[in-house]
Amino acid sequence: MNIQINPDWWKTMFDEVYLLTDARSVCDDTITRHEVDAICQLLPIQTHHKILDLCGGHGRHCFELYERGFQNCTLLDYSSHLIEVARKRVMENGYPLNLIQSDARSTQLESESFDHVCIMGNSLGYINTADADSQILSEAFRLLCSDGWILVDVTNGAIAKEKFNPNTWHEIGNDIVVCRERELFENRIHAREVVLSKLKGIIRDRTYAIRLYEPPALSSLLEQVGFINLKLHTDFSPHGSKGDYGFMNHRILAIGQKPG
């Protein structure tokens, strides 16, 4: 097997099919509540704080934070589709959520305008250039106020390697079957995802790649960017110990602070 990757895959993969293939993680309110519990436990957030959900997808963490009284949330994501999904929910429910479609490496937002930046749900490691994640974290650093906090939630690369499974499949409801084949390299996984609708036939046959971070590598990346007071929780497993949930189980939750 030799899975070929288009380096721009991440610009178009986060669409309506992603919301099906990853529904077990990103469309499950219980999982989202569990993740927002972690945000609230790990960060010193207060209801008046300004919070940026960077690479925030369709805004599930912002909406849950809003429900808990945090009303100064901004959602930024590259995917126009996911931003539109969030916009629809904002319009339907009247949530005062700022929505921005942009590249997290260079957001054009004003410096020092947030108390906290969260990068949730394994949103690093997609861009093929060596410094892309460092650029995203540097942008988060720039956007944070002095003493502000970042929370980065990524797959634990050490556990992903240990539990590596080259072939998986799961069903979603009565119609959808998601099949994945994977290749493991030193710090990367390449994958091919074929999604079959029993009614419509194949609705996706695409490849993607992700960089893996083991805890020491994530710490040193955050340190290089300038964060201090790092703390890492190295097995956040919202799905428990059974099943293959792709990159959405066995995650590292890392927090760090911008110096004052």
Instruction: With contacts defined by CB under 6 A, name the span among 100-108, 170-178, 197-205, 208-216 that binds ligand SAM.
Output: 100-108
Rounded distance, CA 68 to CA 89, Å?
17
Instruction: With contacts defined by CB under 6 A, name the span among 49-57, 154-162, 166-174, 202-210 that binds ligand SAM.
Output: 49-57
Residue whose tokens read 């949930």:
245
Rounded distance, CA 109 to CA 249, Å?
31
Residue whose tokens read 């849950």:
64
If binding is defined by CB under 6 A, does position 105 make contact with ligand SAM? yes
- Sheet strands (E) in the chain: 51-54, 73-77, 98-101, 114-119, 144-155, 167-172, 176-184, 188-197, 201-211, 228-236, 251-257
> Which of 17, 43, 56, 143: binder of ligand SAM (CB under 6 A)?
56
Record the tokens describing residue 183, joined without a space: 């290749």
Rounded distance, CA 188 to CA 205, Å?
20
Min separation Cβ 141 and ligand SAM, Å:
15
Query: Considering beta carbons, is residue 64 or 115 the nearer one to ligand SAM?
Result: 64
Instruction: With contacts defined by CB under 6 A, name the span among 39-47, 101-109, 204-212, 222-230 that binds ligand SAM.
Output: 101-109
Q: How many chain residues touch ligand SAM (CB under 6 A)?
A: 19
Q: Which of residues 113-172 bind ligand SAM (CB under 6 A)?
A: 120-123, 126
Angle at 22 between CA 107 and CA 173, to 5 degrees: 150
Min separation Cβ 17 and ligand SAM, Å:
13
Q: Which of residues 14-43 bind ligand SAM (CB under 6 A)?
A: 14, 26
SS3 39: helix
**Where on the chain is the footprint of ligand SAM (CB under 6 A)?**
10, 14, 26, 55-57, 60, 77-79, 82, 103-105, 120-123, 126
